[in-house]
Structure 1
């Protein structure tokens, strides 16, 4: 064993004797984290500074190319002035002499090439302002063409070229604040250097332009004087911030023979300021001035070359200083990071030794805790299982942790044992609480179910002896509320886990199951049922399937607009009976749909489920019980589509249908209109008021019957189902051909809520179609096949002169004064007019307004044609008011989505 291992063991043994709190004190994690944070911040700053220095060096080196571009622009400006002055007019010449443009074109080419070199020198780090200034160089194409044609005077040449140089320097952003004083000083030096060069270049160009003696010579002379003063100011600024050697080097621009020539030319212009502008007709003086400008051009070019060389040398020195600062920043950042890493490794080594002294005694505690955790998880899963009876194996038994020492770890083991004993007691109490809560829900559900059953029996007994239509309407409403309350009681017992065995259940057709579910909800008249096929549902599934469909239909009706339809379709797919419930209401988001579909599949405890989705909780419980697949999807255009797939184990083949459709608002032929009302008036009222509204029923006073198929006495006197057109097969019908069924036998089922049967009488009062009738919650065939009752009172049409002759004779019960006997099914409305059908969309306001205007015109014509006054206009206003007052549906009740 090496000496290092021996030292580590000795240090470890010493640390073992220390209490846990002292061991934790050694672990100064917080100071270590703070140190690491400070080092990271400082290192980040150093790296950022190094990166900034590198970018600054890159930008300063690119500034050399900008200086050359500024020099090329000034040179092109001078060539443009000379080229324009070369256009010389003889006093009596008829043509203008076209000068040589070789030098001017060469200057243009140099400028364009330098623009591309500037872009390449910056690369992707080019400043936005500099890029815009380079793009602005394209505006030179217009003044270049004007100069080539001799149409641009010197004053406009100065205006075209002058601002470009300033924009190129401003685009570098050298005056912006920097992170360090050193970086700021270098950029200030470069800015002063470039502006000094631009000022001297402007001085050179202005002197050359003033020598031409054009109409703007006086202004150009003033520009030359101003540029010289600006040059001297920028030179002083550079001298104040730059080293002495660099300042002396830049001052050499003004101390050479070419500068002397320019200064002499400026002084000569100053002595003859009154004669600077030479008239156009003074050809001789213009020739002398033009020659003077040509003689001064070599001095201007030479001075420009000297100036550019000095600027390049100084800019290179500034860029080298920036590169050195960048390298120094990178070295400083690297050393700091290295030192931080070494310090961190040393500290981690110390922490590893401390960890070793703590890990050994805690490993045993950890192993024991893991065993306890596994046992606790298994016990928790067993207790949380809602189907497992409570108290079979007694309370959960959890193993105590061994206490290995008397230090803080031993105290931790004692506390952990106490915690797990408390947790076991809580698990037992929680399981018992859930069991008691389920029992309470079950008892409440049974009580409510018994009370509603007795209530339905009492209501039924009262209805048997009552013939008053208004009182019957109120009784039907109470009956419907009791049925819905009984459905809620069934849902409550289901949530409590109570499952009653149905001993006298009977099979029922799937469409009858849907109708039974509609009888348990409010607003059933908005539901439209379409059955292409049909199937017979097993008796065991009927009750639960009715409850499931009632919850889904309740959600569809409750969360969709009052003017929209809810479509229910029955079809066959892959050997299963499939129902689709489509609404056009609020809908759900994609996340909510995924969550609800998952809740329909997975097993979930009631106390953890959201209370707002108890309806879907009931649907999911029933679907898992019978293996029915229920999925929710988004309806195109808004809303939710519920798809219920019943396995073939619970359905058997039945008579196939062909487009069988049922809806309380199904279209029917429009009844005849009394002759006393003009046809135009009737058409206007029919177009203005939907037939489902009270206003329309007031105008069209023709009794209608519910669209539900009702039983009528057949040839043998037994119940008979209306014939429907047959279509594609749903499974293979047992003993059924392609034609329609003529009838079927159904044994009478005596029990609670049974009503008398008899012949239908036209004089029986009708009930409101919004209140479907349900006599019992059991699976008997009579309750499922009974059509929904329309309980709205329908006014009896008055006889008209044109309808006196009929093909049939009134029965004895239909004669005036005859005793009206209340017969089961007599109040059902089997047919509804087409206008009473609830449309998916509301009527067009423009069409309704147009129809009303036509109706009012017809009323006016009728008043003019007849001497008797009419009140149809007031009737229309009243009908409008009644339509608005009945347009808002009531809120739904029950367990909703």
Structure 2
């Protein structure tokens, strides 16, 4: 039973059956949608729109009659002469509404209009104040105009919809004109009357502009032929406070007669256009049904003939593509990753000779197979070029860095000679600055060697104390004077094989912290033992990083990506990651506990930590002050302030003063000796008073 269920799953169907389903299911849906569209078009298409347009035409006649009655009442005369024509229009309107489909969305608003008309016709117009009666007329006429405008929202061809929209705006313009006429005949005696008249006239002009935007040319010509100049002049005189024109009611009725002619033309054309759209719709429906049936029949025939051939070609292409994707190409990439510049192209040529995906024909599937083979060969060629390029770039990095190191070594020797022979303090200070820049250049050359995969370190004879490592790293950055130390473990030293790499790593972290902190803020360094290992923390007071950016940097530190162009722009991160991986050191960036800045935590494993040897004091040299780390009981003075008391450190720790550290040479003296040489060059104006255990230096 379970096996039968598995055979019935869509994923287990053969390609021919799937092709049939792909074709049959949309065809069935097409037939269903065609039937539904035909039914919906027959019941809710232009046929219904034609009936609604006829109702709108009668609504225009009712509105015209009501406007004439209202004008007669406002002029002080009886409305009876106009009432009979209006009643006849209302009855025709009722008949049109009654013939509408009961489910037509226009039914409820039209029935409300009819109820309002019934109430209006029952209202005595010769008793009581006139203003409420005029407002009642205006409300009914506004509802009729709103119905005429709402028809434009129904589905219809573009030309029909434009005609309906233009007819609706014409109804609005006619009502605004009628309101202007009522205002004039009643008299414009107050500023409020003037404002009301101006508003109605502005609305009339706006509606006429909208009418002209959608109306056919014949409608616009008919509107232009309506006489309105004399009436407009009378309205202008009324606005200016002039005497009322006794002939104005006649002019107003003439204008309304002209607009009714245009409205009748628009209504007739709209009904005709809706009928034409109905016939066009029927022809389109018949053509669509015939085309759909032809498509169904042809598609089924083609599917039966082509399905088997297509399925065979697809299965062959699938098998070949899987073999290339999961076997050949990964093998080629691995082989190229292990190859050097000399053998990369040879490996690529051997892989290109492998059998390609078989090409069964010249159809689209065959072209896909050919394209897949071309992509495979291009991928192998590109991988070979990338491998050769990476090897070439690494070699170029190594050669440039080695050449730069030789030049820097020569420069340092000459600087040392110049420093020994120089007695001028100012020039000596300049030489010391050049000396420090040379150390920085050597540091950058070593970074290039690290990125290229070379090992720039030299062998040391014995472990190096931690405080010498820190000072050596400090000497390799430009802002060395900003580095301040907290507690430094004097019992710990680093294994000889990891000395240069760790110094370089710490120098990158010092430099990064100095560049991202304010110029007057220190870089804080602290160490502590963690079991048999050692932890070094480098903290800055910079703005910090967002959590997602910090997580991305920690991922790059934990898993160094292959060498790319980004490594040359962000050399520090790449160098730290590679040195940490080379020596088994863990480096992680964390937010500072104070909420400001970052802390770089360097965890040195126990295998690289040694016990520190006692420090021997070298004999003093004439003209130089002997300096070596001692246990401190007072911290170095802050910039511009006095020394600050700190708790006495525990046994085996030292609070190290802020002094520039050593420069590590590729082939030169030890870290300790070089550190003492660099410290002795430090200008006297940067030295800080240091209180040591039992001794004092100043």
TM-score, length-scaled by structure 1: 0.43
> Partner residue of 1:233?
258
User: What does 1:601-612 align with in structure 2 at a 5 Å threshold?
Assistant: 601-607=558-564, 609=566, 611-612=568-569
Q: Distance in 1 between the 2:298 and 2:449 partners?
A: 65
Question: What is the CA deviation profile of residues 312-351 of structure 1, one whole-angstrom value per residue up to 9, with x for unaligned ones?
Answer: xxxxxx8x99998998898788777666655655565566
User: What does 1:484-523 align with in structure 2 at a 5 Å threshold?
Assistant: 484-499=440-455, 500=457, 502-509=459-466, 513-523=469-479
Are the equivalent residues in 1 in contact too, given 2:336–2:387 (CA < 8 A)? yes
User: What does 1:34-183 align with in structure 2 at a 5 Å threshold?
Assistant: 180-183=158-161
> Partner residue of 2:632?
723
Are the equivalent residues in 1 in contact too, given 2:340–2:387 (CA < 8 A)? no
Choose from 337, 356, 363 the match for 1:401. 356
Are the equivalent residues in 2 in contact too, given 1:452–1:482 (CA < 8 A)? yes
Question: What is the CA deviation profile of residues 530-583 of structure 1, one whole-angstrom value per residue up to 9, with x for unaligned ones?
Answer: 53675846334443232123224434545667x443533537799873634436
Q: Please report how far the alpha carbon of residue 480 of structure 1 lies from its aligned counterpart in structure 2 after TM superposition.
A: 1.1
Are the equivalent residues in 2 in contact too, given 1:449–1:489 (CA < 8 A)? yes
Question: What is the CA deviation profile of residues 485-518 of structure 1, one whole-angstrom value per residue up to 9, with x for unaligned ones?
Answer: 2212221221221235744252433x65443322
Q: Distance in 1 between the 2:435 and 2:498 partners?
A: 25
> Partner residue of 1:830?
688
> Partner residue of 1:479?
435
Q: Distance in 2 between the 1:199 and 1:428 partners?
A: 84
Q: Count the aligned residue pairs.
A: 514
**Aligned CA distance change for structure 1 residues 648 and 328 (closer, same or farther; 3 Å):** farther
User: What does 1:564-579 align with in structure 2 at a 5 Å threshold?
Assistant: 564-570=520-526, 577=535, 579=537
Q: Distance in 2 between the 1:59 and 1:570 partners?
A: 89
**Aligned CA distance change for structure 1 residues 583 and 740 (closer, same or farther; 3 Å):** closer
> Partner residue of 1:368?
320
Q: Distance in 1 between the 2:660 and 2:54 partners?
A: 88
Are the equivalent residues in 1 in contact too, given 2:468–2:661 (CA < 8 A)? no
Q: Distance in 1 between the 2:373 and 2:242 partners?
A: 105
Q: Distance in 1 between the 2:525 and 2:678 partners?
A: 18
User: What does 1:854-869 align with in structure 2 at a 5 Å threshold?
Assistant: none
Is 1:774 the counterpart of 2:663? The answer is yes
Residue 219 of structure 1 aligns to a residue whose secondary structure is coil
Residue 433 of structure 2 aligns to a residue whose secondary structure is helix
Question: What is the CA deviation profile of residues 696-750 of structure 1, one whole-angstrom value per residue up to 9, with x for unaligned ones?
Answer: xxxxxxxxxxxxxx9999xxx9955151369xxxxxxxxxx97555999xxxxxx
> Partner residue of 2:89?
none
Are the equivalent residues in 1 in contact too, given 2:67–2:178 (CA < 8 A)? no
Is 1:219 the counterpart of 2:244? The answer is yes
**Aligned CA distance change for structure 1 residues 419 and 185 (closer, same or farther; 3 Å):** closer
Choose from 569, 573, 578 the match for 1:616. 573
Question: What is the CA deviation profile of residues 51-90 of structure 1, one whole-angstrom value per residue up to 9, with x for unaligned ones?
Answer: 99999999998999999999999999999999xxxxxxxx
Residue 570 of structure 2 aligns to a residue whose secondary structure is helix
Question: What is the CA deviation profile of residues 789-834 of structure 1, one whole-angstrom value per residue up to 9, with x for unaligned ones?
Answer: 774575xxxxxxxxxxxxxxxxxxxxxxxxxxxxxxxxx61159xx
Q: Distance in 2 between the 1:422 and 1:203 partners?
A: 83
> Partner residue of 1:544?
501
Q: Please report how far the alpha carbon of residue 641 of structure 1 lies from its aligned counterpart in structure 2 after TM superposition.
A: 3.7
Are the equivalent residues in 1 in contact too, given 2:590–2:599 (CA < 8 A)? yes
Give the alignment's Cα RMSD to 1 decimal. 6.5
Residue 484 of structure 2 aligns to a residue whose secondary structure is strand
TM-score, length-scaled by structure 2: 0.53
Residue 347 of structure 2 aligns to a residue whose secondary structure is coil
Are the equivalent residues in 1 in contact too, given 2:538–2:599 (CA < 8 A)? yes
Residue 395 of structure 1 aligns to a residue whose secondary structure is helix
Question: What is the CA deviation profile of residues 14-36 of structure 1, one whole-angstrom value per residue up to 9, with x for unaligned ones?
Answer: xxxxxxxxxxxxxxxxxxxxxx9
Q: Which has the higher contact order (CA 8 A, sep 6+)?
A: 1
**Aligned CA distance change for structure 1 residues 425 and 495 (closer, same or farther; 3 Å):** same
**Aligned CA distance change for structure 1 residues 334 and 343 (closer, same or farther; 3 Å):** same
Residue 492 of structure 1 aligns to a residue whose secondary structure is helix
More helix by share: 2
**Aligned CA distance change for structure 1 residues 53 and 322 (closer, same or farther; 3 Å):** farther
Q: Distance in 2 between the 1:229 and 1:573 partners?
A: 106
Q: Please report how far the alpha carbon of residue 232 of structure 1 lies from its aligned counterpart in structure 2 after TM superposition.
A: 1.9
Choose from 620, 627, 630 the match for 2:588. 630
- Structure 1, unaligned stretches of length 5 or more? 1-35, 83-120, 127-149, 211-215, 245-317, 656-709, 727-736, 745-768, 795-827, 833-897
**Aligned CA distance change for structure 1 residues 481 and 171 (closer, same or farther; 3 Å):** farther
Choose from 540, 544, 560 the match for 1:582. 540
> Partner residue of 2:623?
none
> Partner residue of 1:15?
none
Q: Distance in 1 between the 2:264 and 2:677 partners?
A: 108
Residue 476 of structure 2 aligns to a residue whose secondary structure is coil
Compare 777-786 and 374-383 and name the one that shifted more.
777-786
Q: Please report how far the alpha carbon of residue 390 of structure 1 lies from its aligned counterpart in structure 2 after TM superposition.
A: 8.4
Question: What is the CA deviation profile of residues 214-257 of structure 1, one whole-angstrom value per residue up to 9, with x for unaligned ones?
Answer: xx99838555333322222222223434449xxxxxxxxxxxxx
Q: Distance in 2 between the 1:52 and 1:779 partners?
A: 98
Are the equivalent residues in 1 in contact too, given 2:469–2:499 (CA < 8 A)? yes
Residue 830 of structure 1 aligns to a residue whose secondary structure is coil
Q: Please report how far the alpha carbon of residue 637 of structure 1 lies from its aligned counterpart in structure 2 after TM superposition.
A: 11
Residue 577 of structure 2 aligns to a residue whose secondary structure is helix
> Partner residue of 2:642?
none
Residue 244 of structure 2 aligns to a residue whose secondary structure is helix
Larger Rg: 1
**Aligned CA distance change for structure 1 residues 168 and 371 (closer, same or farther; 3 Å):** same
Residue 579 of structure 1 aligns to a residue whose secondary structure is strand
Question: What is the CA deviation profile of residues 433-453 of structure 1, one whole-angstrom value per residue up to 9, with x for unaligned ones?
Answer: 544543453344345445544
Q: Distance in 1 between the 2:464 and 2:473 partners?
A: 15
Are the equivalent residues in 2 in contact too, given 1:600–1:617 (CA < 8 A)? yes
Q: Distance in 1 between the 2:512 and 2:471 partners?
A: 16
Q: Distance in 2 between the 1:450 and 1:209 partners?
A: 106
Residue 606 of structure 1 aligns to a residue whose secondary structure is coil
Q: Please report how far the alpha carbon of residue 636 of structure 1 lies from its aligned counterpart in structure 2 after TM superposition.
A: 11
Q: Distance in 2 between the 1:233 and 1:392 partners?
A: 92
Q: Please report how far the alpha carbon of residue 376 of structure 1 lies from its aligned counterpart in structure 2 after TM superposition.
A: 3.5
**Aligned CA distance change for structure 1 residues 592 and 173 (closer, same or farther; 3 Å):** farther
**Aligned CA distance change for structure 1 residues 434 and 62 (closer, same or farther; 3 Å):** same
Q: Distance in 2 between the 1:378 and 1:333 partners?
A: 57
- Structure 2, unaligned stretches of length 5 or more? 1-29, 77-103, 110-127, 189-240, 621-625, 636-646, 691-698
> Partner residue of 1:22?
none
